[in-house]
Amino acid sequence: MTAKVIALQNDYQAGKTSLTIEVFKFLTDWLNKHILETDKKYSAYLNSKGIK
């Protein structure tokens, strides 16, 4: 997914694409998935170290 975000950024900077609803939806979905799934896996470890 990171590669897709970088490709979107490169295309935008090169003038090949604009920031469309589809791009915003992709980024929102990606961020939510990352936060709610990937980052959440760290919560038990961090909580065990006293970080809340």
Note down the domain range covering 14.
2-48
Which pLDDT tens digit goes with each residue over 1-52? 778 888 888 988 999 888 788 888 888 888 888 888 888 888 889 999 998 8
Domain count, the chain: 1
pLDDT score at 19: 79
pLDDT score at 49: 93
Structure tokens at 16: 């090949």
pLDDT score at 13: 92
pLDDT score at 50: 93
12 Cβ partners below 8 Å, 6+ apart? Answer: 18, 19
pLDDT score at 52: 80
